[in-house]
Amino acid sequence: MKKFLAFCLVVMTLLTIIQVNFLYAQPSVKDPNLKVKALVNGFTFPTSMLFLDKNNIIVLEKEGTVRLVTNGILQPQPLLSLNVDTKNERGLLGIERIGDNIFLYATVKDGQVINRIFKYTLAAGPKLINQEVFKNLPGTPGTNHQGGKLAVSRDGYLYSVTGELQRNGKDQNIIKGPDPDFSGAILKTNPKDGSPAPNNPFKTNNSNDPLNWYQAYGIRNSFGLGVDPVTGNLWDTENGEDSHDEINMVSPGFNSGWKLVTGPISGSGVTENDLVNFPNSKYKDPVLSFVDSFGITDIEFLNSSKLGPDYTYNAFVGDYRHGNLYRFQLNPDRTGFKLDNPGLEDHVVDNSAELNSIIFGKGFAGITDIKTGPDGYLYALSFNDGTIYKIS
């Protein structure tokens, strides 16, 4: 009987693999000089990845497992298994490295549900040791909009983003709402001790005031942070409620406008005076927004010339629902995109013709992370087929 059950399990696993391969077509890229191929698969709902060096990649699975890929092979033994809350968008979400420290962003239960940034020491093996609680962030009441992406500034500080969590405070541009509480915000933090980065835009007299850590607020939800390697500017992506996913350049003090504004403020029925305006804050329209909301996810600036001069330092953006990878060249001062495709002069993607004009690749099963690899090629992590794709 046991043998028969084991046999059934094998058959079911094989059927699942066949079904997954059948459901998700092989992705492709438009440029005939480039190709996309699966580097490694077998992940369960992967959310973020980190290249440790040219041989090792760490991949996070939403359910709390930290996986290691060595020389293209997924190692059976996980680096770590965290006990995380996985309801809806909660889970193990973001990873970054600063020097010998690895930071992980995860939703955990500690009395109540919170988002927590853990700090580890990266040891030989590789191994993650010396777990510390680096920062506690809110995780309720919303089970969606946890944020979770991490990024490293050019001057070595840690960026993190937490979504609005269905809160209604000053962070959400509700003037009479509760004071800032780390929701709907992008933070810039000293990786050594968790203190605010020294040049943050909102300095207050109360050292416990969350505003001390802020780079930006009025963020609805973000699945993407990216640092432009040429300028050091931080960019984010945000998801709209039922319209206007956004791509933004995040200057220090940026107010993205939620929950009074998504997309351009001109169509929102409010003015900048209706928003919560902290001293040194600045509302700005998105560099580009999408009338249709389909889950714009990660943003990466290709930090290499390996795909040819036309692609060097271009911005690549993924989405969840269509499985597309979009590509943008930047304007001369790199504060926005070169938008000469017909219909994009209004900085809004209104229809499928405009959308098609920015598609670089398609057929991915929900992109959650995009990275420049140590070899200079572009890598995309695909959520529903659990695969890392390489574009070369």
Query: Where on the chain is the footprint of Ca ion (CB under 5 A)?
Result: 256-257, 298, 300, 343, 346, 348, 350, 369-370
Query: Closest CB to Ca ion among 113 and 307?
Result: 307
Query: Closest CB to Ca ion among 79 and 380?
Result: 380
Cis peptide before 126 (omega within 30 of 0): yes
Q: Write out 135-165 in H/E/C secondary structure.
A: EEEECCCCCCCCCCCEEECCCCCEEEEECCC
- Centroid of chain to Cα 95: 10
> How far is it, in rounded angstroms, from Cα 190 to Cα 363?
39
Closest CA to 315 of 333, 294, 332, 336: 336
- Residue number of the CB closest to Ca ion reads 256
Query: Closest CB to Ca ion among 119 and 259?
Result: 259
Minimum distance, C-beta of residue 279 to Ca ion, in the bound complex (Å): 20
> How far is it, in rounded angstroms, from Cα 270 to Cα 391?
43
Q: What is the 8-class DSSP label of residue 267?
A: G
Minimum distance, C-beta of residue 186 to Ca ion, in the bound complex (Å): 12
Minimum distance, C-beta of residue 3 to Ca ion, in the bound complex (Å): 45
What is the number of alpha carbons within 13 Å of residue 271 lying toward its C-beta? 1
> How far is it, in rounded angstroms, from Cα 98 to Cα 121?
10
Query: Closest CB to Ca ion among 196 and 239?
Result: 239
Minimum distance, C-beta of residue 211 to Ca ion, in the bound complex (Å): 19
Query: Closest CB to Ca ion among 292 and 350?
Result: 350
SS3 (DSSP) at 44: coil
Query: Closest CB to Ca ion among 164 and 300?
Result: 300
Minimum distance, C-beta of residue 130 to Ca ion, in the bound complex (Å): 25
Minimum distance, C-beta of residue 52 to Ca ion, in the bound complex (Å): 15
